[in-house]
Amino acid sequence: MPRSLVFVVATVSTLLLAGCSAGASGTGATASGTIPVVASTNVYGDIAATIGGDAVAVTALITNPAQDPHSFEASAQNQLALSKAAIIIENGGGYDDFMGTMMKAAHTKATVLNVVDISGKKPDANGDLNEHVWYDLPTVAKFADTYATQLGKADPSKAATFTANAAAFTAKLTALQSREAALKTKYAGEGVAITEPVPLYMLDAIGLVDKTPPAFSHAIEQGTDVSPAVLKSTVDLFRGGAVKLLAYNAQTSGPETDKVITAAKSANVPVVPVTETLPPGKDFIGWMSGNLDAIAAALGK
């Protein structure tokens, strides 16, 4: 079971509230004419704002790229925004379980979009599920279409606009998928290493093979200790030339990941940082495009 984001209600707001919501919960457009939307992270918040445009007021609960999302502390202001939302977006899959706690406390009547449910992805035979589905571009396209449909139900007068905005967004996703396919024709079968499975959907789409000992990435994701034998096996990947790059989660760190990063750099294996939340100044498309640029540059070395 992946680490779940931790829910703690603070007395003072510590996170940015993007686009404060107002009006009755779960009804549709407010008196100001906007649809209040709450997303668990700024990843979905950005997509929600892109498709909704001026017709939505979006609150993203996790906005700080320097914060480990797995230790998130929500504020009373966040809870208030959620209680007034017409549409709530959660990742699901055990990633942001705090959303369920918040929604229960808010007695919300909002439409809830669970992106893992929308994706149709299921746990594997071992009960494991990579919950980082925003790195899976086909899933993001499904979410965009579903979200646009729900916006149209909340404000039927703008349904055509929401549909058009979603189509424009998914066209950009299709272009990114074409780039993944092009990289796959050149690099399919090449080995890579990771610290956590954050970017695995993208790496899989390029045809890259994760050579990381599962016990290593699992321990890092769960926040548990890595055994010396597993750490040695991971470090040895770079000495033996088994991998073309290391993709690491820049939002979490520790002595084990530091040793792996050092080993990769010492072996001149390119290191590609990835994040779980949207970096400052980026939109979703630009962010994913930058990730592809960095992977392509690393593979080409």
> What number is the average pLDDT over the span 63-68?
72
Min mean pLDDT across 41-45, 146-150, 237-241, 290-294 is at 237-241
pLDDT confidence bin for 67, thresholds 50/70/90:
low
> What number is the average pLDDT over the span 239-261?
93
What is the pLDDT, as a whole number, of residue 1?
Answer: 39
What is the pLDDT, as a whole number, of residue 69?
Answer: 61
Quick one: three-class SS letters along the chain? CCCCCCCCEECCCCCCCCCCCCCCCCCCCCCCCCEEEEEEEHHHHHHHHHHHHHHEEEEEEECCCCCCHHHCCEEHHHHHHHHCCCEEEECCCCCCCHHHHHHHHHCCCCEEEEHHHHHCCCCCCCCCCCCCHHHCHHHHHHHHHHHHHHHHHHCHHHHHHHHHHHHHHHHHHHHHHHHHHHHHHHHCCCEEEECCCCCHHHHHHCCCEECCCHHHHHHHHHCCCCCHHHHHHHHHHHHCCCCCCEEEECCCCCHHHHHHHHHHHHCCCCEEEECCCCCCCCCHHHHHHHHHHHHHHHHCC
Q: Is the pLDDT of residue 59 over 70?
A: yes
The C-alpha atoms of residue 31 and residue 163 are separated, in whole angstroms, by 23
What is the pLDDT, as a whole number, of residue 68?
Answer: 61
Mean residue pLDDT across the chain: 89
The ranges assigned to domains in the chain are 9-176, 188-299
How much of the chain exceeds pLDDT 90, in percent?
74
CATH classification of 188-299, choosing from 1.10.3720.10, 3.90.1150.10, 3.30.70.890, 3.40.50.1980? 3.40.50.1980
> What number is the average pLDDT over the span 175-191?
98
Q: Is the pLDDT of residue 15 over 70?
A: no
pTM for the complete prediction? 0.89
Task: Note the pLDDT tens digit of each residue in 204-233.
Answer: 999 999 999 999 999 998 889 999 999 999
What is the pLDDT, as a whole number, of residue 301?
Answer: 84
> What number is the average pLDDT over the span 266-294?
96
Task: Note the pLDDT tens digit of each residue in 86-122.
Answer: 999 999 999 998 899 899 988 899 999 999 999 999 9
Fold of the 9-176 domain: Rossmann fold (3.40.50)
Q: Is the pLDDT of residue 27 over 80?
A: no
Domains 9-176 and 188-299 share a fold: yes
Instruction: Show the tokens assigned to 15.
Output: 């996170």
Q: Is the pLDDT of residue 280 over 60?
A: yes
pLDDT confidence bin for 28, thresholds 50/70/90:
low
What is the pLDDT, as a whole number, of residue 3?
Answer: 47
